[in-house]
């Protein structure tokens, strides 16, 4: 009697042990994915130091379009430039492509959020068939005719219980990608507008240089006429005449170079505006010294880089990759699905009757046991993609800080060159005034006066080129900062 009682207890114990082992085996994949965790982080102290995080809320230093003035070009107070940039923002093909990508990403995010809701569908079919006399239907129901029309119509409701938040994370990952594409679009807008402004000031500079060079050519032509007259009277020799000819030939070649460069810049500006390269463009007639508003920030910090939408785009994309890791983890866990349907099925006529109604409720459970390391590989790939994204972001932060500091160094250098050139022009102006006085008193010749004027024109041609570089370097700084800034809020 005692043996009969202990035997079931022994088998019960063994069954419990076996069930525990099987359960641990089934859940081993779920435990494996906890072993791998990315331990990388974004730069906390970059050369331009302000903490950067993956959080993209309103308090984050990386906020899309955070720069104080989006219409940064208004600091130049040039109506022609304002009009040209606005046309470019509306028509530039690259910017239109970026806007379409944003719309595409938005629709993908909508699609990714679909599984979070109950899925409903209607399924139906009409099937004419000849039923076998010895078949299942006619044996179970002898009243069914041999030739029957089977009508099935079902309304199906499907809901997958999102226990682990997989569908939510999938939706938010797609939404982060949408935000990232939107930030990229803003950076394309900054890039296009800065390229337009840079090309515009190149054109103004070329026009100013061409104007001064034309004065120089006219003056040199007058020198040639006077030299020819002196040569006839044998006051000068042929060598001086040849020097004068060579001088004007060099100036004409320089004029051809400037004219060609002007045409190229005009074509580029038209294309950036989304127009044909030969479309006439109205630009300003004056090319003045860069405005005093083109000032440098008093201090530089990583906070300035929060105006760079491309860095904001990378932060948002990293957020999406981080969610992909969570999604890959949930694939190891069990899924629960609920399938319900309400429909009609009929073989004998009278389709829409209570006797034809049928209902189904089918909960299902799925737990991955062994998938050939497919889930492990998926998780590992997600983690490595996130790590690669962090490395790329850190590299871009360093690159952006270098670009900003290089732009500042360029501006500081060109400001010194402009000041030096101003001093040279001032000295040349004094010499020119003195030469004009001497010419009026017939102490020096007209040729000497023209030569002094030519040196004055040459100084101004150099100055206009320095002005162009000053505009170019400041626009480059604005591009590297991701947009315009105001001095009083430069540090955000």
In a domain, 3, yes or no: no
Q: What is the pLDDT of residues 224-236, one digit of tens each?
A: 887 777 777 777 6
In a domain, 16, yes or no: no
In a domain, 190, yes or no: yes
* Pairwise CA distance, residues 341 & 127, whole Å: 20
* Pairwise CA distance, residues 108 & 230, whole Å: 82
Beta pairing partners, 15: none
* More confidently predicted of 277 and 410: 410
Q: What is the pLDDT of residues 279-333, one digit of tens each?
A: 888 888 888 888 766 777 666 666 667 668 888 888 889 999 999 999 999 888 8
Structural domain for 299, as ranges? 23-489
In a domain, 10, yes or no: no
Q: How confident is the model at residue 97 (pLDDT cuts 50, 70, 90)?
A: very high
Q: How confident is the model at residue 1 (pLDDT cuts 50, 70, 90)?
A: very low
Query: Which tokens belong to 430?
Result: 């004094």
* Mean pLDDT score, 455-473: 93
3-state secondary structure of 230: helix
Contact (Cβ atoms closer than 8 angstroms) between residue 326 and residue 34 = no
- Identify the CATH number of the domain in which residue 290 sits: 1.20.1600.10
Domain count, the chain: 1
Q: Does residue 466 have a pLDDT over 70?
A: yes
What's residue 157's pLDDT? Answer: 81
* Mean pLDDT score, 428-440: 89
What's residue 62's pLDDT? Answer: 36
What's residue 10's pLDDT? Answer: 59
Q: Does residue 388 have a pLDDT over 60?
A: yes
Q: Does residue 22 have a pLDDT over 90?
A: no
Residue holding tokens 């035997």? 7
Min mean pLDDT across 37-51, 174-188, 364-378 is at: 37-51
Q: How many CB atoms lie within 10 A of CB 194?
A: 23
Contact (Cβ atoms closer than 8 angstroms) between residue 305 and residue 400 = yes
Min mean pLDDT across 61-75, 119-133, 256-270, 379-393 is at: 61-75
* Mean pLDDT score, 438-458: 87
Q: How confident is the model at residue 467 (pLDDT cuts 50, 70, 90)?
A: very high
What's residue 53's pLDDT? Answer: 33
* Mean pLDDT score, 144-161: 79
3-state secondary structure of 172: helix
In a domain, 12, yes or no: no
Q: What is the pLDDT of residues 39-69, one digit of tens each?
A: 544 443 333 332 233 333 433 333 434 444 5
């Amino acid at each position: 009697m005692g043996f009969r009682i202990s035997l079931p207890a022994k088998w019960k114990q063994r069954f419990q042990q076996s069930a525990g082992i099987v359960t641990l085996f089934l859940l081993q994949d779920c435990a494996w994915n906890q072993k791998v965790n990315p331990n990388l982080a974004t730069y906390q102290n970059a050369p331009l130091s302000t903490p950067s995080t993956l959080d993209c809320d309103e308090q984050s230093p990386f906020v899309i379009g955070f720069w104080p003035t989006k219409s940064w070009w208004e600091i130049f107070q040039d109506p022609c430039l304002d009009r040209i940039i606005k046309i470019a923002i509306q028509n530039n093909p690259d910017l239109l492509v970026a806007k379409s990508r944003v719309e595409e990403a938005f629709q993908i995010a909508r699609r990714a959020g679909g599984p979070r809701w109950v899925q409903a569908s209607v399924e139906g079919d009409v099937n004419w068939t000849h039923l076998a006399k010895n078949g299942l239907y006619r044996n179970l129901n002898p009243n069914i005719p041999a030739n029957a029309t089977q009508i099935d119509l079902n309304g199906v409701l499907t809901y997958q219980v999102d226990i682990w938040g997989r569908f939510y994370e999938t939706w938010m990952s797609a939404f982060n990608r949408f935000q990232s594409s939107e930030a990229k679009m803003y950076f394309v807008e900054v890039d296009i507008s800065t390229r337009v402004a840079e090309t515009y000031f190149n054109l103004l500079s070329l026009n100013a240089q061409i104007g001064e060079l034309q004065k120089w050519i006219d003056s040199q032509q007058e020198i040639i006429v006077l030299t020819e007259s002196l040569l006839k009277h044998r006051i000068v020799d042929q060598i001086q005449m040849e020097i004068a000819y060579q001088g004007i030939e060099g100036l004409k070649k320089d004029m051809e170079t400037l004219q060609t460069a002007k045409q190229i810049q005009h074509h580029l500006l038209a294309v950036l505006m989304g127009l044909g390269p030969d479309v006439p463009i109205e630009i300003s007639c004056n090319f003045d010294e860069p405005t005093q508003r083109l000032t440098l920030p008093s201090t530089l910090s990583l906070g300035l880089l929060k105006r760079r939408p491309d860095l904001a785009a990378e932060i948002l994309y990293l957020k999406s990759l981080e969610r992909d890791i969570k999604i890959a983890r949930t694939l190891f866990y069990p899924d629960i699905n609920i399938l319900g349907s309400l429909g009609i099925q009929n073989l004998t006529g009278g389709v829409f009757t209570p006797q034809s109604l049928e209902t189904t409720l089918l909960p299902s459970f799925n737990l991955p046991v062994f998938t050939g390391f497919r889930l492990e590989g998926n998780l590992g790939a997600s983690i490595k993609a996130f790590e690669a994204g962090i490395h790329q972001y850190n590299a871009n932060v360093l690159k952006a800080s270098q670009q900003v500091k290089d732009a500042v160094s360029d501006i500081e250098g060109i400001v010194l060159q402009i000041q030096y050139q101003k001093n040279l022009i001032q000295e040349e102006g004094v010499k020119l005034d003195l030469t004009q006085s001497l010419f009026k008193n017939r102490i020096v010749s007209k040729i000497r006066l023209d030569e002094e004027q030519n040196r004055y024109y040459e100084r101004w041609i150099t100055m206009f080129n320095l002005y162009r570089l000053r505009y170019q370097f400041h626009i480059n700084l604005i591009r590297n900062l991701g947009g315009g800034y105001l001095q009083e809020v430069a540090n955000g």
